[in-house]
Amino acid sequence: MGVIYQSMESVKSSVDIDRLSTWMDSMELGTGPLSNIVYLAGGTQNILVRFTRSNREYILRRPPVHLRKSSNETMRREARVLKAISTTDVPHARLIASCPEEDVLGAAFYLMEPVDGFNPTTGLLPHHANSEEVRRRMGFALVEGIASLGQLDYLEVGLEGFGRPENFLERQVPRWKSQLESYADYDGWTGIKALPGVADVEKWLEANRPVHFVPGIIHGDYHLANVMYCPDSAELAAIVDWELSTIGDPLLDLGWLMATWPDEDSMSSGITTVKPWKGFPTADELVEHYKARSERDLSHIEWYGVLACYKLGVLLEGTYARACAGKVPKEMGDLLHGKTIRLFERALRWIK
Task: Please indicate, yes or no, whether residues 203 and 183 belong to a single structural domain of this protein.
Answer: yes
Task: Please indicate, yes or no, whether residues 258 and 166 belong to a single structural domain of this protein.
Answer: yes
Task: Please indicate, yes or no, whether residues 101 and 171 belong to a single structural domain of this protein.
Answer: no
CATH number at residue 41: 3.30.200.20
Q: Which residue segment(s) compose the domain that 73 sits in?
A: 8-112
Assigned domain for 175 exists: yes
Task: Please indicate, yes or no, whether residues 138 and 98 belong to a single structural domain of this protein.
Answer: no
Assigned domain for 28 exists: yes
Please, which pLDDT band fits residue 263 given cuts at 50, 70 and 90?
A: confident
3-class state of residue 202 by DSSP: helix
pLDDT digits (tens, 9 = 90+) for 38-77: 988 544 578 999 999 999 999 999 998 888 788 999 999 9
Assigned domain for 20 exists: yes
**Which residues does residue 118 pair with via DSSP β-bridges, in sequence order?**
229
pLDDT of residue 2: 43
d(CA 282, CA 286): 6
Task: Please indicate, yes or no, whether residues 257 and 335 belong to a single structural domain of this protein.
Answer: yes
Task: Please indicate, yes or no, whether residues 219 and 317 belong to a single structural domain of this protein.
Answer: yes
Query: In the 8-state DSSP scheme, what is residue 162?
Result: S
Output the CA torsion 78→82→83→85 (10° steps): 140
Mean local confidence (pLDDT), 161-173: 97
Between 184 and 271, the more confident residue is 184
pLDDT of residue 269: 53
Assigned domain for 2 exists: no
pLDDT of residue 91: 97
pLDDT of residue 105: 96
pLDDT of residue 8: 60
Task: Please indicate, yes or no, whether residues 342 and 232 belong to a single structural domain of this protein.
Answer: yes
Of 95, 112, 129, the residue that ends a domain is: 112
Task: Please indicate, yes or no, whether residues 102 and 210 belong to a single structural domain of this protein.
Answer: no
Number of compact structural domains in the chain: 2
Q: How many residues does the chain have?
A: 352
Task: Please indicate, yes or no, whether residues 181 and 306 belong to a single structural domain of this protein.
Answer: yes
Of 71, 96, 112, the residue that ends a domain is: 112
Is the per-residue pLDDT at 196 higher than 60? yes
Of 66, 87, 112, the residue that ends a domain is: 112
The H helix count followed by the E strand count for the chain is 12, 9
Please, which pLDDT band fits residue 9 given cuts at 50, 70 and 90?
A: low
Is the per-residue pLDDT at 79 higher than 60? yes
Task: Please indicate, yes or no, whether residues 163 and 75 belong to a single structural domain of this protein.
Answer: no
Task: Please indicate, yes or no, whether residues 35 and 168 belong to a single structural domain of this protein.
Answer: no
Assigned domain for 331 exists: yes
Is the per-residue pLDDT at 22 higher than 60? yes
Task: Please indicate, yes or no, whether residues 234 and 86 belong to a single structural domain of this protein.
Answer: no
Assigned domain for 162 exists: yes
Assigned domain for 189 exists: yes
Question: What does pLDDT average to over the chain?
Answer: 93
pLDDT of residue 7: 57
Handedness of CA 197, 198, 204, 210 (dihedral sign): positive
Between 268 and 222, the more confident residue is 222
Is residue 348 exposed (0-12), middle (13-18) or buried (19+ Cβ within 10 Å)? middle
d(CA 229, CA 116): 8
Assigned domain for 3 exists: no
